[in-house]
Amino acid sequence: MTSESFRKEVAERLDAVVKSLEPRASVAFPSCLSAEERKYVHHLAEQFGLKHESKGRGDARFISVSKDPGKVRESLALGGPSAVLAAGGVGDSRTSPGRARGRRR
């Protein structure tokens, strides 16, 4: 299970992307994340209409998250990732059905 502090940090970083005035705003998450942490980042990005993909190979693999202009408006209507997380609306990715789009097994 991912820690509450990790989930809060991810939500804050995704909030910055969602609320940015830059149409191509993005954030990269480091290659040192565990598989569970990577899954959570993909899950939360998907929940808020952000593009998310893994890039690189082996130990250099990392997650890049960026705006998807058509979907971000929906996310803002919900108050952004931090607001929903604070309200308890998005928990650990293991409790959510399905898997994040674009993920390979």
pLDDT one-digit tens code per residue, 24-60: 999 999 999 998 999 999 999 998 889 999 999 888 9
Let me know if residue 81 belongs to a domain: yes
Let me know if residue 20 belongs to a domain: yes
Assess whether pLDDT exceeds 80 at residue 11: yes
Let me know if residue 11 belongs to a domain: yes
Domain containing 56 equals: 4-87
Let me know if residue 24 belongs to a domain: yes
Let me know if residue 95 belongs to a domain: no
Assess whether pLDDT exceeds 90 at residue 79: no
Which residues are within 8 A (CB) of 48 and not within 5 positions of it... i.e. 6 or more apart?
14, 18, 71, 72, 75, 78, 80, 81, 84
Q: Binning pLDDT at 50, 70 and 90, where does residue 2 land?
A: confident
Let me know if residue 61 belongs to a domain: yes
Output the pLDDT for position 68: 82
Find the CATH number of the domain harbouring 39.
Answer: 3.30.1370.50
pTM of the entire predicted model: 0.69
Let me know if residue 57 belongs to a domain: yes
Asked if 83 and 48 touch (Cβ cutoff 8 Å), the reply is no
The total domain count for the chain is: 1
Let me know if residue 94 belongs to a domain: no
